[in-house]
Amino acid sequence: MSFKGQYLTHNSSSSFLYHELLMKREYTLANQRYIVNYESTAYANHGFYGNNISVNFNIVNVMLSDADLRQSFSSV
């Protein structure tokens, strides 16, 4: 499996270290290319008892990249 990707958007706030990425990647599997759009959020809060870090990934949708096969489906 191979992939290539790019960052579409990036929002961040240094006050409580919040990062949001919307990414688009293209995967090749069994000679078929798929485009995967997903978003990632990361939180890092500094508290009295230490640091709290949370990272989440959410697949927005997956679609075939061939022009004649415009099928797409969303993740659950």
Q: Is residue 50 part of a domain?
A: yes
Query: Which of 30-39, 46-55, 67-76 is predicted most confidently?
Result: 30-39
Average pLDDT in the 7-12 region? Answer: 48
For position 23, what pLDDT does the model report? 73
The tally of domains found in the chain comes to 1
φ, ψ (nearest 5 deg) of residue 66: -70, 140
Structure token pair of residue 72: 């797409």
pLDDT band at 2 (very low <50, low <70, confident <90, very high): very low
Q: Is residue 76 part of a domain?
A: no
For position 66, what pLDDT does the model report? 62
- Select from 16, 66, 64, 6 the least CA-distant residue to 38: 6
Q: Is residue 72 part of a domain?
A: no
Q: Per residue in 14-47, pLDDT tens? A: 444 555 667 777 777 777 788 887 777 776 666 6
Q: Is residue 13 part of a domain?
A: yes
Q: Is residue 14 part of a domain?
A: yes
**Statement: the pTM of the whole predicted model exceeds 0.75:** no
3-state helix, strand, coil in the chain (%, to 5): 0, 75, 25
Domain hosting residue 13, numbered range: 2-65
